[in-house]
Chain A
Amino acid sequence: MKYLEEFSDPQLARRLLDQIHATVTRPWALMEVCGGQTHSIIRHGIDQLLPEGIEMIHGPGCPVCVTPLEIIDKALEIAAREDVIFCSFGDMLRVPGSKHDLFRIKSEGSDIRLVYSPLDALKIAKENPQRQVVFFGIGFETTAPANAMTVYQAERLGIENFSLLVSHVLVPPAIAAIMESPSCRVQGFLAAGHVCSVMGTREYPALAERFEVPIVVTGFEPLDILEGIRQAVVQLESGRHEVQNAYRRAVPEDGNPVAKEMLRDVFEVTDRAWRGIGSIPRSGWRLSERYRRFDAERRFAVADIHTDESSVCRSGEVLQGLIKPNECAAFGKQCTPRNPLGATMVSSEGACAAYYQYRRLDLLPAGASR
């Protein structure tokens, strides 16, 4: 595919790696914000090829991983209702709630459907006027426009049996929360390219200035990531902390104005709980007053469900970059992709799952994972 294969070219990758090796004079800790980047780094083995002093800390940008347990429990409660068709993206189905996951209640007879586009859920609602159709609208700024489009359309088409279970979160407040943490070791960020393709880059100079960290907007293919790392390292070595865009083919400075306009109409900023991190003020979106009647939490009265996180799972520390997945005692033992204790082990974008799938041999004593 154009813009995909040419960004995996081994010779060019080698050249970028050489430049990074030639630039680095001391250790640096960089955080890639997005789970898609974590997946790519581990899948292609990019971190194995970096200079020894460059540490990649895996950030909180996997939408599946940061969705709080409480929302999963609410989803399970709603999806188990007989009058409901519950629609979700695929990788949310295996995320464990406090008791079980959506796959389990599907096997027990609940009508749960995997969709590829949120608008498919709206179509299902139109075709089943006698049922309630709920879409699990989670994710960062990237998935938000398509999710917003569902209620926008539902209102215009008068599809009142549709609702959205919203748990949207935002990247800039998360970056601020990470930098404000006293134990923070992050010295530079690779910002999430696809988030910026929607929102643009204007939110980031203030963060770079305030925390004195370089922020490089970065894509997802091996060359994108290497170029992001190179630009961040060049800045760090020369004592600069600016916002740079290493993903120009997808990210204009203003992002996508049409999408942003719709987001302003459909959502409003709210405090959000992040799985493993806790509540971050003004770090998410909920439906705006105009669309509030499409809010599944209201429609099904599940707002009172409250759940505590697992005490064994250290995914919060993983998400904040305080420990590597294999430093958790449960990694690969009680906690595997088949029996995940926390969401970072569920999604293929989750740092724990990526480590388990691709690094298990190096990280676990022989036989531990069988």
Chain B
Amino acid sequence: MTEDTLPTSTASGPAIDADSWVCPLPLRDSPNIVMGHGAGGALSAELVTHLFQPGYGAAGTTELGDAAVIAAQPGRLSFSTDSYVVKPTFFPGGNIGDLAVNGTVNDVSMCGGRPMFLSTSFILEEGTPLEDLARVARSMGWAAERAGVRLVTGDTKVVDSGNGDGIYVNTAGIGVIPDGVDIRPDRAQPGDAVLLSGCLGLHGIAVMSSREGIDFGTTVESDTAALNDLVDVMIGTGADIHVLRDPTRGGLAAAVNEIARSSEVGIEIEESRLPVPEAVSNACGLLGLDPMFVANEGKLMAIVAEQEADRVLEAMRGHEAGQDAVYIGRCVAEHPGAMVARTGIGATRVVDLPIGEQLPRIC
């Protein structure tokens, strides 16, 4: 039986209390999400026990209370939330699920927090294949296991077909900041070195190429990855890390501009030092985009005192997530609040915050 054939008229049939109404058995065999999956009844419970819990595996929880209970620790917490609406749901190198876990793990890590617990919340469009949702949930479980975080609480809502776009995920995360760590966007100082953990532009180009069906010759895979372990290693060097930032939407340019403004320093980036994979630079060349503005999901930018830069860089390179780490520039006292790029041929230019989406140029 499909949704279309369900009795909906209360005029001739029995009165139905729409809020607590749960579809009879046949709907449970639906291969797709139906409205009942978000209604809090038996279907919702089934989704949790038969889809989310197996999907999350060891990273999930068997406690199904209204809230997760977490033992409090003395000290400071970092807390972050982010919503994920990426289209398509599945893209080369990842999907909305691991992106949602890694993204929040990284946001928590960028102020030095060790991420511990995540909430996962779904807004699903009626008709979304359960199989897709199961794949997403499994990816979230794996990503959480890899990052060493637990998925401790969650929620699911369903919206009418046409009112959503498949699967939307929100994650929020809590982390514990070790004593003595003080990483903030306003701590950059003139003279500090700017480090980047790896190459630019992979996530943005991977998503764009699958969304627009553009073939750039080779498949570009998203770099989605958790960075908390890399951050741990960096903090473990004992160096005073002033700023960390993951250059996601808006790319490196947005991240550098934001730090320059928060810290009221100028930041000079040497374009020739930026690691840009050939496929990314080809795609950017074709579309008229600048790799500095393209999104990353598994990279971080670090600002550290000049004299500690080599030590931190070496530690980063010893870690899988930072093996291609490079020095890309420095903070200066001139032009506070602005990012300046030194071009390959030795001139300079201002790099401003992108206004909205980067728009491909006409020719």
Contact surface of A with B, Cβ cutoff 8 Å? 1, 4-5, 8, 10, 13-14, 36, 39, 42-46, 48-49, 63-64, 89-94, 103, 114, 116, 138-140, 142-143, 194, 222, 337-338, 347-349, 356-361, 370
Contact = CB atoms under 8 A, between A and B. Distances in A.
9 contacts: A4-B282, A10-B346, A45-B345, A89-B360, A116-B212, A143-B363, A194-B363, A348-B359, A370-B337
B360 A10 contact: no
A370 B349 CA distance: 17
B263 to A, nearest CB: 16
Contacts of A360: 338, 350, 352
A182 B74 CA distance: 78
Contact of B344 (A64, A90, A138, A222): A222
Interface of B is mostly: loop
Contact of A116 (B337, B338, B350, B360): B360
A90 B359 contact: yes
Contacts of B346: 10, 14, 45, 49
B200 to A, nearest CB: 15
Contact size class for B?
Answer: 20 to 34
B323 interface: no
A91 B363 contact: no
Given A1-B281, A45-B349, A116-B287, A91 B361 contact: yes
Given A1-B278, A1-B281, A361-B338, A44 B345 contact: yes
Nearest to A47: B347
Nearest to B272: A10
Contacts of A140: 363
A49 B360 contact: no
A320 to B, nearest CB: 21
B348 A4 contact: no
Interface in B322-343: 335, 337-338, 340, 343
Given A10-B272, A337-B355, A48 B361 contact: no
A91 B347 contact: no
Contacts of B285: 1, 4
Contacts of A143: 362-363
A90 B361 contact: yes
B362 A8 contact: no
Contacts of B350: 357-361
Contact of B343 (A1, A43, A370): A43
Contacts of B338: 360-361
Given A43-B349, A338-B355, A360-B338, 13 more contacts: A1-B285, A10-B344, A13-B345, A42-B349, A49-B345, A49-B347, A143-B362, A143-B363, A348-B359, A357-B349, A357-B352, A361-B335, A361-B350
Contacts of A370: 337
A45 B343 contact: yes
A1 B344 CA distance: 16
